[in-house]
Amino acid sequence: MQRTDNRPNGPSGDIAPEVMRRPRQPAHGSDRQSRMRDASAQRLAHGLAWFSISLGLAQIVAPRLISRLVGGNGKYANLIRFYGVRELASGLMIFGQGRRPAAAVWSRVAGDAVDIATLAAAGASPRMNRSGVALATAGVLGVTALDVYCARELSRERVGEAGITMSRSVVVNRPPHELYAFWRTFENFPRFMYHVQSVRTTGPGVSHWVVNGPAGTSVEWDARMTADVPNERISWQTLEGADVESSGSVRFEPRPGNRGTIVRVDLQYRPPGGKAGKLAAMLFNESPEQQIYDDLHRFKQIVETGEVVRSDGSPEGMGDVRQRPGQPSGEASAYGDTAASSSASAD
């Protein structure tokens, strides 16, 4: 998936250059890079977990052997067994914590500190083999470095400064100018964006949005168009003080060989604090990427066929997750919406 250029303003067609002063674009890396970092940290965590489990088992089963390996004389078997239980617990906790086992890996770091302290105390004892203790300490320090790295990676703020970013696209069998014209009429949005109740233009490049929240509530905000490149791109951003801070763009790219247009939506949003923010987070939490997918496919259906396609199983059309049985509901023309969808064309 290709990333958008994250500049709020294009080279031309800018209508609100002042927003350049407060960009909300990702501070570092793209969504994909971020996911790759997550995946490699997770792999490392699992490696450490297996290490924990095997070392823990060895300490529980053969404490005397372990004692001699680290330069001791086979004593303190119960202490070593106790450490073994701790190792085992850390390892299992990493697997138990799912995709981002940050707390479990930090618990390993704490365990490492205890190990180092123990080895330091042991190194001071005349009955110990000093070179054995030094070797063991070097080993533990190495593992500690890995643990700290892994725990820090896993604790890394997942959403960058820009918040959560996503990107979706669909191919529509119409030239870019028609799709641009349809999209440029913001009042069209509720026809294919089901969570949007209304969009009203309130000033030059400024619009007021009312969006469905959970349990019959609604969230409102004002947004400003930050770029408007005819037939190519429209970008927007919420105004300061909005319940949901977000920015996004839609681009219309003609496919080679006269095969329609790729419509690509990029969206960033930051769930803010406060009650309204929590509400908004819940709103977006119902798989925002699926929501954009559904919106884009309904857009395609409206532009290509005239309206959102409905079935008995999905009376609301694309994205209707309730799935009634595939038989008429008995609701007389509840979804006829003749007035709303009479004009099919984009212009």
Partner 1 sequence: MKATCWHGKHDMRVENVPDPVIMNQRDAIVRVTATAICGSDLHLYNGFIPTMKKGDIMGHEFMGEVVDVGPDVKNLKVGDRVVVPFAIACGNCLACEAKMYSLCENSNPNAWLAEKIMGHSPAGAFGYSHMLGGFAGGQAEYARVPFADFGALKVPAGMADEQALFLSDVFPTGYMAAEMCDIEPGDTIAVWGCGPVGQFAIASAKMLGAARIIAIDRFADRLAMAASKAGATDTIDYEDRDVFDALKELTGGVGPDACIDAVGMEAHAAHPALFAYDRFKQALMLESDRPIALREAIMACRNGGTVSVIGVYGGFIDKFPMGSFMNRSLTMKTGQCHVQRYMKPLLARIENGEIDPSFIITHRMRLDDAPDGYKMFAKKQDDCLKVVLTP
Q: Which chain residues interact with partner 1 by CB under 8 A?
A: 171, 173, 259-260, 290, 293-294, 297, 300-301, 304-307, 309-315, 317-320, 323-336, 338, 341-342
| 116/141 Cα distance (integer angstroms) | 8
**Hey, which residues does 252 pair with through a beta bridge?**
263
Nearer to partner 1, 47 or 336 (CB): 336
Taking the complex as a whole, the smallest distance from the CB of residue 302 to partner 1 amounts, in Å, to 10
> For residue 65, which of 81, 51, 89 has the smallest C-alpha distance?
81
Nearer to partner 1, 206 or 262 (CB): 262
Nearer to partner 1, 91 or 260 (CB): 260
Backbone φ/ψ region at 277: left (φ over 0), alpha (ψ -120 to 50), beta: alpha
* Helix/strand/coil (H/E/C) assignment for every residue in 44-91: HHHHHHHHHHHHHHHHHHCHHHHHHHCCCCCCCHHHHHHHHHHHHHHH
Taking the complex as a whole, the smallest distance from the CB of residue 295 to partner 1 amounts, in Å, to 12
Nearer to partner 1, 204 or 330 (CB): 330
Taking the complex as a whole, the smallest distance from the CB of residue 42 to partner 1 amounts, in Å, to 23
Q: Which residues 6+ apart lie within 8 Å of 266 measured at CB?
A: 3, 4, 165, 166, 167, 248, 249, 250, 251
151 and 107 in contact (C-beta within 8 Å)?
no
Taking the complex as a whole, the smallest distance from the CB of residue 176 to partner 1 amounts, in Å, to 15
Taking the complex as a whole, the smallest distance from the CB of residue 300 to partner 1 amounts, in Å, to 7
Nearer to partner 1, 123 or 319 (CB): 319
Taking the complex as a whole, the smallest distance from the CB of residue 61 to partner 1 amounts, in Å, to 37
Nearer to partner 1, 74 or 336 (CB): 336
**Hey, which residues does 247 pair with through a beta bridge?**
237, 268
* Phi/psi of residue 263, nearest 5 degrees: -105, 120
